[in-house]
Chain A
């Protein structure tokens, strides 16, 4: 995990994103406990209130759950929820941006499709 203090994004959102990514990639596995607010605060020198604010987003999204007195745990369907969310964002974040740039470069639809095909062959 890393946090970029130069980023234009508020720190608590970065905290939420980094933990979400770790869950998605399986670093924090289903049913397992994630690091405590204090651990994350300490390791990255972030105010505990900021870390908590980030974690609360993940609680609201149904990715982690608080177990009284024991900490935060990754919920069963967390990975699947993140996958669905990211699929929805894929069009917005990648496809639409790609088309804006392609238009700037004067690439038409056919040119993009053949580049996508080449990407699949090489990737």
Chain B
């Protein structure tokens, strides 16, 4: 799947600006960004639920516009409820199978059992959590090559969140395909995500493997003056202070020629910390 210079405007407000990227086959992506960064808009454009103002989305070389063949290869799980409140769970599975012909009913039954979802219940009777669970189950059972998950764990308790990600990894191991997971709970997906897409202010700020990102993300901690000296001129993306103790977060190469003082320590940081610091900047800029 290829995105070519996608932009989206609502009136004069530009929500997405010039997004170009290529989704690799059989890869688990984390789509990260603050609230309102444009993640959901992007996912909706990919599946042709809303039109882009400009730019193209190609699936196996075919534009996704009104193209059932192309759209049958991609599935979006998202918050809006597309089902009739009167429809029963098993009817929704059947309805889905009409469009996604390879729907795995056996897996769907296993999953409704594991999650404790009664297939005879009507959609309107399900709680927020179970609505998410139903949509998650469908996402794991459709025979699509690209599965987009927009906040898949909305309303799920910790046990169900863990169970969902376990099932996701297992189906991925059985039948590798591309997942794009958009969530605020970064820690929960950090171990699964092979590639990170970061949207900031409607632009694609990062598109890189998790391993490569974490390999060049550091915290430098020690007495304030020494830390400032050591990180001067480096790409400092944020800091924390505790009295005179300071941590600078550096994204990018450290200067190997600089001598690290005894009182200063350099450590790696995790994905969540990196994300918070990379996306905090715009707030500060916005306040100026």
**A interface residues (Cβ-Cβ under 8 A, vs B):** 3, 5-11, 37-38, 41-50
Contact = CB atoms under 8 A, between A and B. Distances in A.
Nearest to A11: B191
Contacts of A38: 169-170, 173-174
Contact of A37 (B173, B188, B193, B269): B173
Contacts, number: 52
Interface string B170-186: 10111000000000000
Contacts of A48: 169, 172-173
A41 B214 contact: no
B230 interface: no
Interface of B: 28, 162, 165-166, 169-170, 172-174, 187-194, 211, 214-215, 267-271
B166 A10 contact: no
Given A6-B270, A10-B211, A10-B214, A42 B170 contact: yes
B278 to A, nearest CB: 17
Contacts of B162: 45
Given A8-B267, A41-B169, A42-B169, A47 B192 contact: yes
A60 B211 CA distance: 21
Most buried by B among A9, A42, A44, A45: A45
A45 B268 contact: no
A47 B166 contact: no
Majority-rule SS of B interface residues:
helix
B222 to A, nearest CB: 16
Nearest to A48: B173
Contacts of B165: 45
Contact of A45 (B166, B214, B215, B267): B166
Nearest to B164: A45
Given A5-B187, A8-B268, A45 B192 contact: yes
Nearest to B186: A5
B193 A47 contact: yes
A8 B271 CA distance: 11
Contacts of B166: 42-43, 45
B268 A5 contact: no
B173 A42 contact: yes
A47 B214 contact: no
Contacts of B267: 8
8 contacts: A8-B267, A8-B269, A38-B169, A41-B173, A42-B166, A45-B189, A46-B192, A47-B169
A50 B191 contact: yes
A45 B194 contact: no
Given A45-B162, A45-B165, A5 B191 contact: yes
